[in-house]
Amino acid sequence: MTPAEIRDEILDILEDISPDDDLENLDDAKPFREQLELDSMDFLDIVMELRKRHRVQIPEEDYGNLASMSSTVSYLEPKMKDIVKS
């Protein structure tokens, strides 16, 4: 997957988890928690959804890499490079 496809996938997951949040104006550099109504369970849902959809394993010690959209895409890019977007 390309960085743009990964970003779209994260947006899709966020839309499912937090449908009332405005994702149109999401600032990729700002932490998700500063912009969205996400709690720790929502965050775990993101991790679990990535595992379910794409078999991407994210160890707990790496959760900090998923703080913002830009850090999430950077972290996931090498893990998802061989996944073909369907």
Query: Taking the domains of the chain in order of start, what are their residue ranges?
Result: 3-20+30-80
pLDDT of residue 86: 64
Q: In whole angstroms, give the CA distance from residue 9 to residue 13.
A: 6
Give the pTM: 0.90
The class of domain 3-20+30-80 in CATH terms is mainly alpha
Q: What is the mean pLDDT of the segment spanning 42-62?
A: 93
Q: How far is CA 14 from CA 32, 76, 82, in A?
A: 10, 15, 22
Q: What is the mean pLDDT of the segment spanning 27-50?
A: 92
